[in-house]
Structure 1
Amino acid sequence: MVTGCAADTGGVSAWKTFSQNIAHAAAHFKDAQTMRHITQDSGFGLKTEQVKRRHILVKAVIIGLVSGGLACAFRWTLMQVEHGRTGALAWLRENAHWAAGLLAAVGIGAAGCALALWLVRRFAPETSGSGIPHLKSVMLDQAEMCWWRVIPVKFAAGVIGIGAGLALGREGPTIQMGGATGQMVSRWFRVRGGEGERKALMSAGAAAGLSAAFNAPLAGVMFVLEELHGVFAPVLFVAAFVSSVVADIVCRLLLGASPVFATPSIAAPTLAALPLAAVLGLVCGFGGVAFNKVLLRSLDWFDGLRARRWPVIAIGALAGAVVGIAAWICPDVVGSGSHLAEHALGGGLKVIGVITLMMLARFALTMWSFGSGAAGGIFAPLLVIGALVGLGTGHAVHQVWPPLVEHPEIFAVIGMGGLLTAIVRAPLTSMVLIIELTGKYDFMLPVLTCSLIAYGVAEAMNCAPIYESLRLRALEKSAEIAPAA
């Protein structure tokens, strides 16, 4: 009996141990499945299993509506201010002495840039520059987003600064304001701060901002996946896609459905353009590396003025005065540069010397404007520079061997994609954006060829992407200021 009981007890214990092992294994499998679900749905920086695509659709639609409307208001206001500035300077050229006109141009630039820079430094330092590096830091939990100050300051400072002539673009402000809008909407729906859904909504707002800035919904989606996060996550894709499409519809209803750069006269490139597109990729690769290095140096130079205790208003006035002189001499090289890009794409510039001079002037003014710390992006300026680089390359080859390049303006489109890729290091976003900007889908192969070569050159030279360099630089500056504070 004892033996039987002992055997029975042993059997029960063995069975109990076996059952516990099975339970532990099942629990481990369930945890693994949960973690896999978290990773797949959330993506880089989104650490929650509660983010579901069906929960985010309504919020993404609202973000698209709000961000699209805000971006349209920014675009329209900026166009009116720029039109007013160019109209005033044109009137002065016809009716005033050149010295009086130059003084007025310098005054407009100095006053506008000083006010714009003061707004940034006084109320929201994170709105300096494009705002994209700040948004990336927010996604990495390395910075905070305060939507209630980012939106009004970025809007006002961007309109005033770019309107006064700073050679900056509108896409940086609309992306950062879009990200802030995403945070604002997440507050409306009481999304908890620790949940990845808030980051997904902010990313959706950023996508909507780029979409509305350039009438480019696909580029908005690609930008979030390729540049802002660097991974594909279903929840990010759904939120960005919905908000981008909604923002694009809003923008087309309010401001028109035409591509930002209308190029009806450009002939479609043939396969014969691919070798020169590859050569242009080399040029854009080296040009992109130079752009990144000089841009960082310009920021250091203006930081040196601040270290010598120059007042913010004085720095802004200095930056604006130089811009004002340039605006009086050649109005097309200042501001957003859309007219200059249209001239390049439309074949209006044909002399290599003039093209080169315009390109160098625009490059210098972009470095000067961004280095000051004013609110504004670099997408539009580098697209203008890329168009001029491509156009100049096309005309140079045309003069040597006309049959090889019958339409040099083709390479203005290709150059935009190549330089954007070399600087930002996002080839898919660059290709999609250029196609949506121009409406020329038959440019896909040469743009892709140029972009991949430019990407390889920049990578081979160990040049970091510009937004990553700017983000790390901002974090380093914050770490230097923190102990002193």
Structure 2
Amino acid sequence: MSPAAPDAPEGTRRPVAYVLAVLLTGLAGGLAGVSLALLLHAIQHLAFGYSPHALLGMESFLDGVRAAPPWRRLVVLVGCGTVAGLGWWVLHRFCRPFVSVEAAMADPATPMPAATTIGHVLLQIVTVALGSPLGREGAPRQLAALAAGRLASALRLPAEEARVLIACAAGAGLAAVYNVPLGGALFTMEVLLASFAPAVAVPALGAAAVAAAVAWVGLGDIYQYRLPPLAVSASLVAWAAACGPVLGLGGWLYRHAMRRARTGAVHDARSILFCLLVFGLIGLAAMPFPALPGNGKGPIQLGLDGTLGIGVAAMLMVLKILATTGALRAGADGGLLTPGMTIGALLGVVLGGVWSLAWPSGAGHGAYALVGATAFLSVSMRMPITAIVLGFELTRADDDFALPVLVAVAVATAMARLCDGMRRAE
């Protein structure tokens, strides 16, 4: 749990003002999610030349990239590298230092700089729209947290209330952009504040609910992934238990690899060249693999549809890991939630395909993708409860899948804790 900052001298507890702040925070999260989602879709459609008059149409980003000629994929990714390299170099060279959501929570008296934060937000959305392998969920979280920090300061809220409000804003942004109100609230509680106490749960749930409702108005009550009819069997549950350690180890290694890539990221003028090189290579790989560009939503959907073979899933998984690591190391920024789910889904397809050769489950590869994505995400983001809820909210999976999902998450989490213990003992 993040250490609580001492209450500001001028801060006094005013319940009415705090309730109003929570509601306005939810509104800010919803507006951030809607506006950034529409901007993302507009840039995607313009860059890859699909559905120019239907930003919320039925044609997906993967459909648009597939329809684009291979040379266009390469050109767009080179453009993405140019924007990423120049953009983040300018921010690091000429703007105030970036303050993360976690840092703003730890010290609400140190506000997130508006220009720097908005620059980071816009760069994340633009680059993900142009094919960056990183996630887009960080942008609405940061924009909503920026608004919440300013609101807390304007209302002169005590530091502890301001800290909770900033965390609620980040969860609300997540709730809005992916239409996951419960998942967004749990993200606030489990990941950001490490508390399920009523003083945290009530504002977290309230802000996430308001944000999701605002997003329904702007984007519609839609869910992110289509899940075909799938069955649960004894084979699937046994696979979840047997492959849980592999998913846990994979998630643990992925988390530490991404941390090292971020720590070693280039933030000087060299990032311009590095981003051009990395994103140019991603563009070359996207020519034969159109599912590679973007945060990973396309490969997850392919895995859930059961249309990926073991070989293609394995290749996409390797390419996604290399692309994500390379983008972070080159100095680009973005979320890791959807990329982590993508790698977990693809690993689930590979492991499930091999398992089916000996003991067919009858559930289809989509079931392996769902369980794999949830278990991998629970470890890579260190949020088992939130990951389980996100898995169901994002796909609207049937409750019957609770058993294999819970088994896989429990075993994967135990494996990750074992790895942590072994690393500390070294």
Q: Give the structure-1-normalised TM-score.
A: 0.76
2:236 to 257, 273, 295: 273
Gaps (5+ residues) in structure 2?
51-64
Q: For the residues of structure 1 that align with 2:94 and 2:244, how far apart are their CA atoms? A: 41
What is the aligned partner in structure 1 of residue 57 from structure 2? none
Structure 1 pair 115–81 and aligned structure 2 pair: CA distance change class (3 A): farther
Supply the AA of the counterpart residue of 1:325.
L
Note if contact 1:204-1:239 (Cα within 8 Å) is conserved in structure 2.
yes
1:79 to 29, 36, 41: 41
Structure 1 pair 106–382 and aligned structure 2 pair: CA distance change class (3 A): closer
3-state secondary structure, aligned to 2:119: helix
Q: Give the Å deviation of 1:300.
A: 5.2
Supply the AA of the counterpart residue of 2:411.
I
Mapping 1:445-484, distance limit 5 Å: 445-462=403-420
Mapping 1:244-263, distance limit 5 Å: 244-263=208-227
**Number of equivalences:** 405
1:421 to 378, 381, 394: 378
What is the aligned partner in structure 2 of residue 231 from structure 1? 195
What is the aligned partner in structure 2 of residue 340 from structure 1? 299
3-state secondary structure, aligned to 1:332: coil
Q: Give the Å deviation of 1:147.
A: 4.7
1:178 to 133, 141, 144: 144
Q: Give the Å deviation of 1:54.
A: 5.0
Mapping 1:177-256, distance limit 5 Å: 177-191=143-157, 195-256=159-220
3-state secondary structure, aligned to 1:248: helix
Structure 1 pair 421–53 and aligned structure 2 pair: CA distance change class (3 A): farther
Structure 1 pair 142–183 and aligned structure 2 pair: CA distance change class (3 A): closer
2:325 to 346, 367, 378: 367
Note if contact 1:277-1:449 (Cα within 8 Å) is conserved in structure 2.
yes
Q: For the residues of structure 2 that align with 1:102 and 1:464, how far apart are their CA atoms? A: 43
Q: Give the Å deviation of 1:182.
A: 1.0
Whether 1:295 aligns to 2:258 is: yes
Structure 1 pair 235–118 and aligned structure 2 pair: CA distance change class (3 A): same
Supply the AA of the counterpart residue of 2:151.
V
Supply the AA of the counterpart residue of 2:224.
V
3-state secondary structure, aligned to 2:411: helix
Q: For the residues of structure 2 that align with 1:51 and 1:444, how far apart are their CA atoms? A: 41
Higher helix share: 1
Q: Give the structure-2-normalised TM-score.
A: 0.86
**1:257-294 residue CA offsets vs partner (Å, 9 max, x unmatched):** 1211121x131424552221112311111101221232
Mapping 1:308-319, distance limit 5 Å: 310-319=269-278
3-state secondary structure, aligned to 1:409: helix
Q: Give the Å deviation of 1:122.
A: 3.7
1:430 to 381, 387, 410: 387
Note if contact 1:116-1:374 (Cα within 8 Å) is conserved in structure 2.
no
Note if contact 1:119-1:153 (Cα within 8 Å) is conserved in structure 2.
no
What is the aligned partner in structure 2 of residue 157 from structure 1? 123
Q: For the residues of structure 1 that align with 2:139 and 2:81, how far apart are their CA atoms? A: 21
Q: For the residues of structure 1 that align with 2:89 and 2:416, how far apart are their CA atoms? A: 35
Q: For the residues of structure 2 that align with 1:175 and 1:345, how far apart are their CA atoms? A: 27
Q: Give the Å deviation of 1:388.
A: 0.9
Structure 1 pair 144–47 and aligned structure 2 pair: CA distance change class (3 A): closer
1:408 to 365, 372, 390: 365
Report which stretch shifted further, 157-166 or 204-213: 157-166
Q: For the residues of structure 2 that align with 1:43 and 1:317, how far apart are their CA atoms? A: 37
What is the aligned partner in structure 2 of residue 115 from structure 1? 86
What is the aligned partner in structure 1 of residue 56 from structure 2? none
Supply the AA of the counterpart residue of 1:341.
I
Q: For the residues of structure 1 that align with 2:86 and 2:188, how far apart are their CA atoms? A: 32
Note if contact 1:46-1:200 (Cα within 8 Å) is conserved in structure 2.
no
Note if contact 2:137-2:177 (Cα within 8 Å) is conserved in structure 1.
yes
Q: For the residues of structure 1 that align with 2:116 and 2:183, how far apart are their CA atoms? A: 23
What is the aligned partner in structure 1 of residue 53 from structure 2? none
Supply the AA of the counterpart residue of 2:205.
F
Note if contact 2:26-2:210 (Cα within 8 Å) is conserved in structure 1.
yes
Q: For the residues of structure 2 that align with 1:327 and 1:123, how far apart are their CA atoms? A: 33
Superposed CA RMSD in Å reads: 2.8
Supply the AA of the counterpart residue of 1:296.
R
2:133 to 154, 163, 167: 167
**1:109-144 residue CA offsets vs partner (Å, 9 max, x unmatched):** 3323223323442455755xxx8xx32233223993
Q: For the residues of structure 1 that align with 2:247 and 2:237, how far apart are their CA atoms? A: 15
Supply the AA of the counterpart residue of 1:230.
A
Q: For the residues of structure 1 that align with 2:223 and 2:129, how far apart are their CA atoms? A: 22
Whether 1:60 aligns to 2:22 is: yes
Supply the AA of the counterpart residue of 2:83.
G
3-state secondary structure, aligned to 1:166: coil
Note if contact 1:114-1:317 (Cα within 8 Å) is conserved in structure 2.
yes
Structure 1 pair 462–108 and aligned structure 2 pair: CA distance change class (3 A): same
Structure 1 pair 50–232 and aligned structure 2 pair: CA distance change class (3 A): farther
Note if contact 2:271-2:330 (Cα within 8 Å) is conserved in structure 1.
no
Q: For the residues of structure 1 that align with 2:76 and 2:44, how far apart are their CA atoms? A: 13
1:145 to 111, 127, 140: 111
3-state secondary structure, aligned to 1:461: helix
Q: Give the Å deviation of 1:102.
A: 7.2
Q: For the residues of structure 2 that align with 1:426 and 1:390, how far apart are their CA atoms? A: 19
| Structure showing greater Rg | 1
Counting aligned pairs with the same residue, the percent is 25
What is the aligned partner in structure 2 of residue 473 from structure 1? none
3-state secondary structure, aligned to 1:190: coil
What is the aligned partner in structure 2 of residue 444 from structure 1? 402
Structure 1 pair 69–463 and aligned structure 2 pair: CA distance change class (3 A): farther
